[in-house]
Structure 1
């Protein structure tokens, strides 16, 4: 994670993805647009070859439904990039102890760490229902930003069966508990 990505995350409360990560993260939404784009391309091709065909009523459904699903999936995936924020007066040493405790409980594996950020990943088993999660923790001035998304180095997934929420909520809960 670069300093630029960390700065962007702290300022915008959103995880900044590289081009490859964006392609991976938004793949389910992009997949939905294949059929509509193919239909539109076919009709445009026919139009420019001076043999236009009218759009059949059944084709409307193949244009509308996947397009609507693609738009919904896009906004769903975009919302998952938002960080959850927790304000705290704890110092980095205290936060590290809490993060280590949660990481042990939820089986996180440290992937990246510096003074401003930590990235951890999970490596669940085949039958767990998840390909894995990526947990990103940013440290700002008296605040901690937490995000958990499906691992960008693995297959795309629209669901984590609640694991992303569990990762975020458990860490935030423990920080709040220690901050009292």
Structure 2
């Protein structure tokens, strides 16, 4: 994770994605808009060739439903990029011990670990219902920012079977427990 991405995450409380990560993360949105764009293109082409054809009553549903689903999926995927914030009085070495404990328990593989960020990934089995998750932890002054999304280096997925929530909640719970 670049310094720019860490800075953006700390300032905006949102995971910053590269171009290809955005393509991967928002892939379902693009898929939903294929049919409406195709219909619109077809009708515009006919219009500009001076042979406009009326929109049939059944076609309107192939425009409205995928468009509404695409908008819904956009906002859903956008909300998944938000970090959960945890206030803590623990120092970084105490926090890293907690993170290591949770990582071992939930089978995270840590790929990046430094004074500003920890990035871990999961590699679940074929029948688990998930391609894997990417857990990002940012260290801010007296705060920890936690985010878990479907692995951006794997196939696009809109469901993690509750694993993203489990990753975030387990870490937050352990930090709060140790902060008491």
Give the C-alpha shift of residue 125 in structure 1: 0.5
- Counterpart position of 1:98: 98
- Counterpart position of 1:52: 52
CA distance in 1, matches of 2:53, 2:22: 36
Give the C-alpha shift of residue 114 in structure 1: 1.4
- Counterpart position of 1:156: 156
CA distance in 2, matches of 1:127, 1:20: 26
Give the C-alpha shift of residue 86 in structure 1: 0.2
Partner of 1:134: helix, strand, or coil? strand
What is the RMSD of the two structures over their aligned residues, measured on CA atoms?
0.4
- Counterpart position of 1:66: 66
CA distance in 1, matches of 2:46, 2:155: 37
Question: Residue deviations 1:18-51, cap 9 Å, x none?
Answer: 0000000000111000000000000000000000
CA distance in 1, matches of 2:46, 2:36: 15
Unaligned runs of 5+ in 2: none
Where in structure 1 do 4 or more consecutive aligned residues deviate above 4 Å? none
CA distance in 2, matches of 1:111, 1:17: 17
- Counterpart position of 1:85: 85
CA distance in 2, matches of 1:112, 1:97: 15
CA distance in 2, matches of 1:107, 1:115: 22
TM-score (normalised: structure 2): 0.99
CA distance in 1, matches of 2:140, 2:110: 20
Q: How many aligned positions are there? A: 180
CA distance in 2, matches of 1:56, 1:137: 51
Partner of 2:156: helix, strand, or coil? coil
CA distance in 2, matches of 1:111, 1:80: 21
Alignment of 1:175 with 2:175, yes or no, is yes
Question: Residue deviations 1:27-81, cap 9 Å, x none?
Answer: 0111000000000000000000000011111110000000000000010000000
TM-score (normalised: structure 1): 0.99
Alignment of 1:43 with 2:43, yes or no, is yes
Give the C-alpha shift of residue 108 in structure 1: 0.1
CA distance in 2, matches of 1:124, 1:102: 16
Question: Residue deviations 1:106-147, cap 9 Å, x none?
Answer: 000011111100000000000111100000000000000000
